[in-house]
Structure 1
Amino acid sequence: MSEEGGPRRLLPDLSPLRSTPDFRLLWVQGFVTYCGSAMAMVALPLQIKHLTGSPLAVGAMGAVELIPLVVFGLYGGALADAVDRRKVIIGTEAALGALAVVLLVNALLPSPLLWPLYLVAAGVSALTGLQRPALDALVARIVPHDQLTAAAALTSLRWQAGEIAGPSLAGLVVAFAGSATAYGVTAVTFAVSVVMCTRLAPAPPARGAPKPSLRGLAEGARYAWSRPVLLGTYAIDLAAMFLAFPHTIFPFLADELDATWSLGLMYAAGAVGSAAVGLTSGWASRVRRHGLLVVCGATVWGAAIAAAGRLDQVWPVLVCLAVAGAGDMVSGLGRSTIWNQTIPDELRGRLAGIEVLSYSVGPQLGQVRAGAMAGWTGTRPAIWWGGAACVGAVGLLAALLPRLLTYDADTDPDTRRNRTAKISDPSPG
C-alpha cells in the first residue's frame, strides 16, 4: 500500500453524496435542522433548572417524553410503510417549527411558565417518533445497497457536526442572549428545513403496502423477534442508553466541577469523538462483521462514561466524553448497517419505528434514571455507576445473543436476499 493510499483509505466514503441527489439534500437539511434543534436541546433543560433548581425536575423531562415517543414511534413506523415518506417528513418538520415558536413566546413572558416546557418536550417527542421512521426508511431506499455503511457514516457525521456546532454555540447564545434567542434560532432553522424538504422527490409506499394497523405493527414485531441479530442491536442500544446517558444532569456536573462555562462543551464533547471516527470512517465500508462493531463500541461508551464520573477535573472529563462519543459512533455504524442491509423495504418503516424506540426510549429512560439517581446519590456517582453497569450489561447480552457476534454481511441470508432484491428492483415505489 502506498503512503498516499493509506491515509486515503481512512477518509470518509463520499459515494452516497456523489450518486444520490436526495441523499445530498437530506444531509444538508439534517445539518441545518440539528444545529437549530441543539439550541433548544441546551436551553430547555437549563431553563427548567433555573425555574426549579431540581435535578429530578430536569430528569422528569425524559418521563414526559417517553409515552409519546413509544406510541408515535410505532405508529410512525407503520405510517412510513403506508404513505409518501416525503410528506411525513415535511409535515413533522413544520410542526416542530411551530413548537419552537411556543417555546419562544413562553420565554418572552415576564415570568416564563414551567408546564409549557414539559408540554413542548412531549410534543417534540411525538413528532420525532412520527418522523424518524420515514427518514430512516427513505435513506435505506434511495442509497445503493453497497453504499449503506458509507451512508450511515455520513449521516452520523452530519449529526456529530451539528452536535459540535449547535451545543457549543447554544451555550454561548443562552448565556449572553437568553433562552428566547435560542428558541428563535430553532424556529428559523425549521422553516429553512421545510423549504429544503419540498425539493425531495416523492417517496410513495412500496407495492402492496398495508394501511397503518395493529396487525401491521405486529407483523413488524414478529419479524424483529425472529431475527436474533436485530434483537441484539436493539437490546444493547437500549441498555447502553438507559444505564449510561447522563446528559440531562450535565448542568449539575458543570456546577460540581466549578466550570459552569463548560456546559456547552460537555454536550458537544461526545460529538467531537464521534466526528473523529466519522472523519476517518473509510475503513467502515470494508468491515463485514458489523455485530462486533455494535458490541465493542457500546463497551467503550460505557467505560468512558464511568471514567468521566470518577474524575474531578473538567478537561479530563471532556476527554472521556469525547471517547464515549467515539464508541457510540462505532456502535451506531454497526447498528445502522445491519438494519439497512437485512430488513426488506416493505417492512422498513415498521422496523424503523422499532429502531426509534431502541435508540430513543433508552435515552429518555436514561434521563429519568440519571436525574433520580443524582438526587439520591449525587451527580458523579450517578454517572460512574451507570457507565460501569453498561459495560456489564453489554457483556451479558453479547453472551446471550451470540448470533450478533458472528454476523457477516457476506454470508447472512437476509443481507444476501435484500442485495439481490435491490439490484433487480432498485425503485420499490
Structure 2
Amino acid sequence: MSLTRSLVDVTPLRISPLFRRLLIGRTVSVLGGFMTMVTVMFQVWDMTHSTAWTGAVGLAQALPLVVFGLFAGAWADRADRRRVYLTATVGQAACSLLLAVQGFTGHVPVAAVLLLVAAQSAFGALGGPAAGVFLPRLLPREQVAAALALQQVAGQSMMLLGPALAGVLLGWFGIGVCYLLDALSFGVAFYGAFGLPALPPEGEPSRAGMHGVLDGLRFLAGHRVVRGALLTDLAATVLSFPVSLFPLVNAERFGGDPRTLGLFLSALAVGGVAATGLSGALTRLARPGAVMLCASAAWGAALLLFGLSTSAWAGLALLVVAGAADATAVVSRTTLVQTRTPDALLGRVTAAEQIVGQAGPSLGNVRGGLLAGWTSGATALVTGGVLCVLAVAGVAATTPELRAPGTPRAPGAPATEPGGG
C-alpha cells in the first residue's frame, strides 16, 4: 500500500468549496474553544482557589448539552439547519464577547462567569445537531468518512495547540484578550457556514416538542446499527475512560512527576492526530462498523496494558495507541450515524450522539475515580479495559449488521453537492 493512500484522504477539500470553508471555520472555532476552556479554568481558579468551583465549570458545560440537546435536535429537524447553525454561532460569539467584557473590567461574581459558560454551551447544543447534517448533504456518500477524518485531524491538532497558545496569551495579555479571540473565531465559523444553501429537512419535519424527541428516541431504539454505534461509544467511555485516574497512576507508578502527568493527555492527542493523518486506507475501506468495533476494542486493550505498565515510556506509547484508536472509532462511529440516519431525523440523532459523547467520559471519570478509591489506579484501569473489550465484543456479537461491509446512504440523502461553486 502506497504512502499516499495511507494519508488522510483530501478529496473532499478538492471537490467541495463549501466543505473547505466549513473546515476552515470549524478549525478556527475549535482553536478558540480550547483557548476559552483553559481561560475559564484559569479565571475561576484565580477567583476562588477552589476545586469545587473549577469542577463546576465542567458541570456548566455539560448540563445544557444534556438537558437541551434532544430538544435542540428536534428543532433542527423542523427548520433550515443552516439558519439554526448561524443563529447558534452568533449566540456563542455573544457569550464570548460578554466573557471578554467581564475579563477586561473584572469584579464579576464567579457565578456570572459560569452562567455565561452555560449559556454558550446551550447555544452549542443547538448548533451541533444542525451541523450534523452538513456533510451528508454536501458530499457524496463515499466521501463522508474522509471529510470526518479531516475534521478530526484538525480538531485533534487544535487540542494540542489551543491550550498551549492560551497559556502564552494569558501570560502576555490576560483573560480578556483570550475571550475576545474566541469571539472572533466564531466569526470565522459564521463565515464558513454563511455560503451554504438552505438545508431544510428532507422528508417529514419533526413534530413539535416532546413528540419530536420521542420520535427520535424510537428511531434510536429500533435502528440496530445506529444503536450499536452509540452503545459501543458508551462502552468505551463509561467503562474505561482514564483521565480522572492519571494523577493517581502517575503517583503510584511514576513517582508523581508532573512532567509525566502533563504528557499523558498530550500522548492521547498525538495518537489521535497520527491516526487521522494516516486514515486514508480506513476511510476508503467502506467498513465503518468493523473499523469502529476493532478500534474501540483496541482502546480498551491499550488502557488495560497501560494499567499494567511500570515504564513511563511504555505507558506513554500505549496512550498514543489509545488516542489513535479513539480517534479512529470516533470517525467510524460518526460515519455510521451520518450515513445510516434519514435526513429528517439526523438532527435528533446527532444530538443524542453529542450527549453520549459528553456524558460517557464524565461517567467514566466518576466510575474510575470511585473504583480507584476502593482499590488502586492500576486496578481501575485494568478492569475498565477488560470490561470495555468484553462490552464491545458483546455489541459485535449481537449486532452483526455492524460487521457488514458498505455504508448504505440513508433514505432521502442526495448523492451530489447542492450549490457547489
Question: Could you state the TM-score of these two structures normalised by the residue count of structure 1?
Answer: 0.83
| 1:91-149 superposed Cα distances (whole Å, 9 cap, x missing partner) | 22222223333444455566774434443443333222211111111222111112112
Cross-structure match for 1:258:
257
Change (3 A) 1:268 1:59: same
1:145 counterpart (137, 141, 147): 141
> Residue in 1 aligned with 2:239?
243
Residue of structure 2 equivalent to 1:356: 354
Question: Hey, what's the Cα distance between the residues in 1 that align with 2:106 and 2:39?
Answer: 17
Structure 2 counterpart of 1:82 = 78
Say if 1:56 and 1:251 are closer, same or farther in 2 by CA, change over 3 A.
farther
Distance in 1 between residues matched to 2:304 and 2:50, nearest whole Å: 23
- 2:178 corresponding residue in structure 1: 182
Tell me the amino acid that sits aligned with residue 282 of structure 2.
A
Taking the TM superposition and a 5 Å limit, the aligned residue runs for 1:89-168 are 89-107=85-103, 113-168=109-164
Question: Which residues in structure 2 correspond to 1:15-414 (within 5 Å)?
Answer: 15-48=11-44, 58-107=54-103, 113-174=109-170, 178-247=174-243, 257-259=256-258, 263=262, 266-308=264-306, 316-369=314-367, 386-399=384-397, 401-409=398-406
State the superposition RMSD in angstroms: 3.5
Distance 1:254 1:112 in 2: 36
Q: Shift in Å at residue 44 of structure 1?
A: 3.2
Contact 2:30 2:155 in 1 (8 A): yes
Q: Kindly tell me: are residues 247 and 28 of structure 1, through their superposed partners in 2, closer, same or farther at Cα, counting changes over 3 Å?
A: farther
State how many pairs are aligned: 416
Q: State the one-letter code of the partner of 1:141.
A: R
| Deviation, structure 1 residue 197 | 3.0
Contact 2:24 2:189 in 1 (8 A): no
Partners of 1:245 and 1:318 in 2: how far apart? 16
Unaligned runs of 5+ in 1: none
Residue 204 of structure 1 aligns to a residue in which SS? Answer: coil
- Structure 2 stretches lacking a partner, 5+ long: none
- Structure 2: distance between partners of 1:380 and 1:40: 32
Deviation of 1:234 (Å): 0.5
Secondary structure at the counterpart of residue 145 of structure 2: helix
Structure 1 CA distance, aligned partners of 2:110 and 2:370? Answer: 19
- Name the SS for the 2:286 alignment partner: coil
TM-superposed CA distance for 1:171, in Å, is 4.0
Q: 1:244 aligns to what SS in structure 2?
A: coil
CA distance in 2, matches of 1:254, 1:375: 15
The alignment partner of 1:82 has SS state of: coil
Q: CA deviation at 1:31?
A: 0.6
Give, in angstroms, the shift of residue 65 of structure 1: 3.8
Aligned equivalents of 1:217, 1:127: Cα separation in 2: 18
- Post-superposition shift, 1:283? 0.7
Amino acid at match of 2:77: D
SS at 2:205 equivalent = coil
Offset at residue 166 of structure 1 (A): 1.5
Instruction: Give the C-alpha shift of residue 334 in structure 1.
Output: 1.8
Q: SS state of the match for residue 161, structure 2?
A: helix
One-letter code aligned to 1:37: G
Which letter does structure 2 place at the counterpart of 1:202?
A: A
TM normalised by structure 2 equals 0.84
Change (3 A) 1:14 1:213: same
Shift of 1:274: 1.5
Name the SS for the 2:77 alignment partner.
Answer: helix
